[in-house]
Homo-oligomer: A and B are copies of this chain.
Amino acid sequence: MVKITDVARRAGVSPSTVSYALSGKRPISDATRRRVQAAARELGYRPHAGGRPPAGRRSKVLALAVPLRPGVHVPVVTEFAVSVVTAARAHDHDVLLLTRGEGEEGLRHVADAGLADAAVVMDVQLQDPRLPLLRSLPLPSVLIGVPAEPDGLTCVDLDFRAAGELCVDHLARLGHRVVALVGSPPEVYVRRTAFARRLVEGFTSAADRHRLVSTVHPCGSGRDAARAIAERLLREQPALTGVVVHNEPLLDPLIDAFERLGLRVPGDLSLTAVCPAPVAGSARVPVTSVTVPSAELGTRAVHLLVRKLSGAPVPQTTLLPPRLTERASTAARVLA
């Protein structure tokens, strides 16, 4: 292993001069700098992380805190991870996958041991136990997902409010006048995720703007819940022709339930969803959807992190604009 003293000896200067010549933190004469650089190159010198004083120069490593509970979400998590890694590479950083502990433990470990310069934190919940830690740690971080109280943090997420609006806009443009939102299970709105509530806001406000008749229905999962909600919707709103679904596992059962009740999709009923693209594409009827842009979120998170590291100011919350992809589940309303 070639160290700074080797370079110094070969260049005929002191180690500190080498350090300055390479870092540019102090003015060094052109001749000396060139000599040092040549020596470093010839010897294949590469600074060893062990030598850094703890708070000193960066290790060029980004930590990625991803809850990799076996079996859960693996494809989606993966998509994020790949995009983070790719983006990190573009910024000349490596990525340290955090797998120990359930999150707090791992983050503290990275910060204390100085293993990474910064962290990307995935799967953020409304009241995430990691938040106080992130606020107090000297480790810059970016969250994917917006918690209840984002003060003092940096967050990226899809703009779920706009996503809700976009679905309604789409249905309204197709001529639908009575719409419903079939949402996530009630408990989601209470305790877990902020985005669910924002989606509802967007849905409602867009419906009002278009002067549509609209209702919102949190809904559990499973075939029975699907049947129940479908029947109820038809009973309470016989004129219903547009449905927005924000509940991945319910997608297929719901389409099924509607068809059993004699409503074809999209013939009698148009349906849009907010979900990952693969889910929408592989449903019984490919569903027009607003995609959760995992890849772009990852990229964006890394960008923000790099800016933070360079000391540049970053916005507290970045919301990505949603994009709607038309598939086979929506059509213009047939006028009676």
Contact = CB atoms under 8 A, between A and B. Distances in A.
B92 A100 contact: yes
A110 to B, nearest CB: 8
A50 interface: yes
A50 B46 contact: no
Given A1-B54, A74-B82, A88-B99, 18 more contacts: A1-B112, A46-B112, A46-B113, A47-B113, A48-B113, A49-B50, A49-B113, A49-B115, A51-B54, A59-B115, A68-B89, A85-B97, A85-B99, A89-B99, A89-B100, A94-B115, A95-B97, A96-B96
A124 interface: no
A98 interface: yes
Interface in A91-122: 92-100, 106, 108-110, 112-115
The count of identical subunits is 2
A190 to B, nearest CB: 31
B96 A94 contact: yes
Contacts of A138: 1
Interface of A: 1, 44, 46-54, 59, 61, 68, 70, 74, 78, 82, 85-86, 88-89, 92-100, 106, 108-110, 112-115, 138
Contacts of A44: 108
A68 B86 contact: yes
B98 A46 contact: no
Contacts of A52: 50
Given A78-B82, A82-B68, A86-B68, A50 B97 contact: no
A98 B278 CA distance: 28
B54 A48 contact: yes
A59 B100 CA distance: 13
Contacts of A114: 48-50
A53 B1 CA distance: 14
25 contacts: A46-B108, A47-B112, A47-B113, A48-B54, A49-B113, A49-B114, A50-B50, A50-B53, A50-B54, A50-B114, A59-B115, A68-B82, A68-B85, A68-B86, A68-B89, A86-B99, A92-B100, A93-B99, A94-B96, A94-B99, A94-B106, A94-B115, A95-B96, A95-B97, A96-B96
